[in-house]
Structure 1
Amino acid sequence: MLSGLKRLLIGRPLKSNELCEQKLNKTKALAILSSDALSSVAYGPEQILLVLMTVGAAAFWYSIPIGVGVLILLLALILSYRQVIYAYPHGGGAYVVSKSNLGENAGLIAGGSLLVDYILTVAVSISAGTDAITSAFPVLHPYHVLISCLLVVFITVLNLRGITESASILAYPVYLFVLALFILIGTGLYQIASGAVPDHLHAPVGTPVAGITLFLLLRAFASGSSALTGVEAISNAIPNFREPAPRNASRTLAAMGVLLALLFAGIVYLGYYYGIVPSEKETVVSQIASTAFGRGILYYFVQATTAMILVLAANTGYSAFPLLAVNLAKDKYISRMFTVRGDRLGYSNGIISLAILSIILIIVFEGRTEQLIPLYAVGVFIPFTLAQTGMMVKWLREKPGGWTARFIVNLIGAVITFGVLIVFFVTKFAQVWSVLVFLPLIVIMFHRIKKHYDAVGEQLRITNCERAPRAHGNIVIVPVAGITRVVENSLNYAKSLQPEQLIAVYVAFEREQEKQFEEKWNKWQPDVRLVTLHSQYRSIVQPLTKFIDTIEHKANELNYRVTVVIPQFIPKKRWHNALHNQSSLLIRARLLYRKDIIVTTVPFHLKK
């Protein structure tokens, strides 16, 4: 039944040679890899106005130069990550750049930041989209967390079906959102050009404003820079592109940069010209759409596509998290399970892990993830800064043709992103201080995992000077619970091993029971030695392991191996397991961690 449900949800398994069919063209890649960046247009300009509002509406004209500054930073990031794509075509983005040029710890900080950031991407985006849904239908508000979790499950299933299938479905809402905002911006600019918007709604550019400070402007710039989250996702996901992957990824990155710049600039300008004042009850985009269209069909079209893009922004995390996890796993910093492709050739373990962690985050914060947004932005600007700095080091070290211009681009980007990072820490320390705690912990965890893998590799490696000790004989112990076909099957297998000693062990709770069993055994298997153990506390595992300890000590003196053959019957239906005690599982669980014990399970399959 479970297998049938799995096939229904994610489809038939794909052959390994079908991998090329799961690669993305530029149109689909732009949709699923830029959804996070494009969705930030819905809240980035608003974040600028929220800061400026603290000194009055007259200060809103500063949103224009601040918006220009954000666009300059966007240009620097696009040019930088374009260089990253060609320099590191196997993906990994900021992690690979930082590790290659700044050292192991810098790479792990970048990688850890991005892993956490992609989890936050899913949690924040889904919760924001759910907010839009519950705002439209207030009756659903009590089910906010449940709706958010169901949306995570829905997007997870889509991604488990394969990247091309999820892209085919999710591309439509993304392009509808882009279309809606272009219609909105075009209508707004037409109304402004035709004189339909009164000039008194906004303060002229250059109007003196009392109370404005450089610190406030930097804070507004840092808040507006939250619109750049997700820009790095394409450089992490290069392996998902069709060949030539670097060129296709580069062009997709450029297209995303152009769309993001146009939409961001348009919303910032309309917000300023219309004199929009941020409100807790209505978003800036909603107010602009209401002013431009009234509460008609086009208004609801903008709102509907905005809600969809906020939900689907989570898909950027699903696209980039598994591939970043693959790079970390290949370098032995996280579990190797993240390198395994699933039935549909996607990295299913990464997708499922991302979903579980995101749901936990949503439940813990009860779907109110507003306080996570600054943490979300900081998690992006740390790898931004490290990637820019890493590329600077690369150009200084290698000095290829035209390296000076590339170095200047990365230098500008590094200075701006580092400045934004510092402003975030200074102005929102109470919300982002945890970064200073969990990032070192994540790096320590990475090192511990790497140390474990290195130790395992060292112990498994075969060298000419080391040989595994060879045993001179074998002692086989068979725990028995009665005289049954299951036990008979296990004894026959144990005899086929031709051991030096074969011992059957029976644990009795009552003395009378012990004597009766010994009499029956001597008639049934007189050639197999039986040891009966009395258990005063009705435990099977404890007296058995003590006996095995004694045999193991004697076996070591003789250089013998000790093998424990565990009989186990397998019911015809899986739910039947709940009707039987699982003594064999308990015995096996206890013995598997014993260094010098070999544990073998002999199954006996029931037919009814």
Structure 2
Amino acid sequence: MEPTKDTRQLNWLLAWAVVFCDIGTSVYYVPGILYGHVHDATPFFVLLTTGGFILLSLKYIEISWRNPEGGGVVTITTKAFGPMWGCLGGMLITVDYFLTTAISAVAGFQYIGSAFNAIDPQIVLLSCAGVGVLAGLNIIGIRESASVALVMACASFVVNLIVIGVAIFTMDAIQWNAVLNKLGPAHGISSYELLVGFASAWLAFSGLESISQLSPAMRFPLRRTTRRAMAAVMITMIVTSPVLTALSIGLLPEQLKATESERFISELGLIVGGLGIKLAVVLTASSLLLFASNTAIIGTYHVFLALVKGGFLPKIIAVRNGTFNTPHIAVAIATSIPVLVILLSRGEMKLLGDMYAFGLLGAFVFSSLSLDTIRWRLGRRDPVFWLGVLTTAMLVVAWGVNLIEKQLATYFGGAVTAIGMLTAVGVRRAWFVDLLLRIPIIHRLQTRAYRASEDLVEDQLKGLVTLAEAVEVKPLYSSSTLLALRDESPRLIQEGITRAKGRGDAALYCIYVEEWPGLFAGDTPHAPNEEGVRTLRAALQAGRHRNIEIIPIWAVSHNAAEAISNAAKVLDVRRFTICSAAESSRG
């Protein structure tokens, strides 16, 4: 369903809040992760990458308003390069979401542990349990609210400002000197180390891509809402992320930085403002991180549902729970993999951060490159276009360095992406169903299920016919044209009628094929979906106005193309046309 004015409830402030609840969490764990790679040069690299963040943010504004239907990297990449590349973009963002869920859950309990040390030995188990609870809530149907996001984002931002303000007003000259010295590159740093630091620091701005998912919910005019929301994101991130990173690296003792890298900001709050500010940081950080973990779970299973709709994943993933009407299988997959990641990594933040970079930078590269491609096709050669190309080049370099430097992340991300793409191609080309159908008993089960479904159509849906019935009436209503429909297409139906009448036909075959494996349903019929019934009845109505007999054929198959080809053969048509609302292809 297309988003309407009534469904677009997010103004720029609420959109900022939702994005900040994602991107704003990175400040709580990235300084510690990055410190493990580049040590005291951490503030310099975060500051350096902030420039790239601003350039990429400007591109995400355009990505958002160009795709009012949402979909993020999947949609923009599909428009630029085609569905299969869009699917690859979806796999990359899925890897990103898996790691977001894991790292946010672990970091959330790490911050709770900074106030309650007794839970430290159980961080891994608590993180897994936390993801499990979120899975249960999503299956039950609990949803996030933009208003709740606004409260949490404002609380986090205000507490961060308090930490920064107290630190600035209480620092002495020696501390100022220590902080400012950390803003420059370390002495003797090599060019390759510079690239590694730059590539790693992009983690500080993970979550930026979430604004492109909000397009269907943002108020019109979309360009203005997106610009204002992203301007707020940029300002709040520039004010907090580089500053808090510099303060934590400059003010925290060396021993604490070595042992408490998961909790830099809460320890900074304790040093500059005492226990009260530390507890405020713990409360806002842990709640925001767990909120971000839930957001990633929701993002993951929505990507799954989009890929199922596009024919890239098995439809069983989109099956909804009978009690709560939620996609429980998709939710289970979206949470079980992060739990497995937490267990295998033992909750080590540095390792999780390295793994995170694969999907994050991959999604950034695909989104940025896709927008460049679309701009090129539109004839854009202005400074904005070339600045966008520069942004893409920076991202490609950062991703390439991470692929080489962080091999475990490359193996994990590459494996998940490869499995996902293999599954997508297999589902798209019906490899798995074809393989199963070679087993005689399964083939017989499918035949029984299809027969039961056709019997249901014959008995309950008057006006529609099965292929067998169409063959029976062929002597009375013969036609040389078969129109294969995917949705209501008035213009294309009229075109088909015109062609049929031009050949002297008194009838026109219209077929709608529902793709359903039907492997283990037995005698349980598959009820035709409303879209298929509506499409065929619309064709019937169009025929009445043009004095031609429409033969509306409903069919079910695991392979629509194969079913259409078979129908053309048994009906002995010389020409068939496959139509959707957006395209037609002839065979």
Aligned partner of 2:383: which letter? A
Match of 2:81 among 71, 78, 102: 102
- Residue 290 (structure 1) aligns with: 270
State how far apart, in whole Å, the 2-side matches of 1:346 and 1:240 are. Answer: 20
Instruction: Please state if 1:260 is matched with 2:261.
Output: no
Aligned partner of 1:113: which letter? L
Match of 2:366 among 386, 393, 411: 386
- Alpha-carbon distance, 1:382 to partner: 0.6
- Residue 74 (structure 1) aligns with: 53
Q: Which runs of 5+ in 2 are unaligned?
A: 435-449, 458-463, 473-521, 525-557, 559-587
Preserved contact between residue 47 and residue 220 of structure 1 (Cα < 8 Å): no
SS of the residue aligned with 1:178? helix
TM-score (norm 1): 0.63
SS of the residue aligned with 2:429? helix
Match of 1:49 among 31, 35, 38: 35
**Identity of aligned pairs, percent?**
21
Aligned partner of 1:229: which letter? S
Larger radius of gyration: 1
Aligned partner of 2:215: which letter? I
- Residue 373 (structure 1) aligns with: 353
State how far apart, in whole Å, the 1-side matches of 2:155 and 2:13 are. Answer: 13
SS of the residue aligned with 1:399? coil
Preserved contact between residue 7 and residue 217 of structure 2 (Cα < 8 Å): no
Preserved contact between residue 159 and residue 166 of structure 1 (Cα < 8 Å): no
Indicate the larger mover: 330-339 or 80-89. Answer: 330-339
Preserved contact between residue 67 and residue 265 of structure 1 (Cα < 8 Å): yes
Preserved contact between residue 48 and residue 221 of structure 1 (Cα < 8 Å): no
CA RMSD of aligned residues (A): 4.1
Q: 1:322 to 1:253 in 2, by over 3 A?
A: farther
State how far apart, in whole Å, the 1-side matches of 2:115 and 2:188 are. Answer: 38
Preserved contact between residue 276 and residue 288 of structure 1 (Cα < 8 Å): no
Aligned partner of 2:201: which letter? G
- Residue 285 (structure 2) aligns with: 306
Aligned partner of 1:108: which letter? C
Q: 1:411 to 1:94 in 2, by over 3 A?
A: same
Indicate the larger mover: 306-315 or 120-129. Answer: 306-315
Preserved contact between residue 307 and residue 313 of structure 2 (Cα < 8 Å): yes
Preserved contact between residue 44 and residue 223 of structure 1 (Cα < 8 Å): no
SS of the residue aligned with 1:265? helix
State how far apart, in whole Å, the 2-side matches of 1:323 and 1:381 are. Answer: 20
State how far apart, in whole Å, the 1-side matches of 2:152 and 2:426 are. Answer: 42
Aligned partner of 1:258: which letter? I
SS of the residue aligned with 2:468? coil
- Residue 161 (structure 2) aligns with: 182
- Alpha-carbon distance, 1:381 to partner: 0.4
Q: 1:272 to 1:385 in 2, by over 3 A?
A: same
5 Å matches for 1:12-31?
20=6, 23-31=9-17
Per-residue CA deviations over 1:252-290 (Å, capped at 9, x if unaligned) read: 333222212221121133245537643223533234323
Q: 1:204 to 1:174 in 2, by over 3 A?
A: closer
Q: 1:274 to 1:145 in 2, by over 3 A?
A: closer
Q: 1:437 to 1:151 in 2, by over 3 A?
A: closer
SS of the residue aligned with 1:173? helix
5 Å matches for 1:295-334?
295-334=274-313
5 Å matches for 1:491-530?
none
SS of the residue aligned with 2:389? helix
Aligned partner of 2:157: which letter? V
- Residue 564 (structure 2) aligns with: none
Preserved contact between residue 44 and residue 225 of structure 1 (Cα < 8 Å): no
Q: 1:157 to 1:72 in 2, by over 3 A?
A: same
Preserved contact between residue 300 and residue 334 of structure 2 (Cα < 8 Å): yes
- Alpha-carbon distance, 1:379 to partner: 0.6
Instruction: Please state if 1:410 is matched with 2:388.
Output: yes
- Residue 90 (structure 1) aligns with: 69
Per-residue CA deviations over 1:94-140 (Å, capped at 9, x if unaligned) read: 12222221344432221101112212211221122122333433433
SS of the residue aligned with 1:232? helix
- Residue 193 (structure 2) aligns with: 216
State how far apart, in whole Å, the 2-side matches of 1:441 and 1:206 are. Answer: 42
- Residue 94 (structure 2) aligns with: 115
Q: 1:252 to 1:344 in 2, by over 3 A?
A: farther
- Alpha-carbon distance, 1:48 to partner: 3.8
- Alpha-carbon distance, 1:181 to partner: 0.6
Instruction: Please state if 1:467 is matched with 2:468.
Output: yes
State how far apart, in whole Å, the 2-side matches of 1:274 and 1:303 are. Answer: 19
Q: 1:255 to 1:357 in 2, by over 3 A?
A: same
Per-residue CA deviations over 1:46-91 (Å, capped at 9, x if unaligned) read: 34433333xxxxxx3x545423321111112111111111111111
Indicate the larger mover: 208-217 or 240-249. Answer: 240-249
Instruction: Please state if 1:445 is matched with 2:423.
Output: yes
State how far apart, in whole Å, the 2-side matches of 1:248 and 1:319 are. Answer: 23
Preserved contact between residue 266 and residue 279 of structure 2 (Cα < 8 Å): no
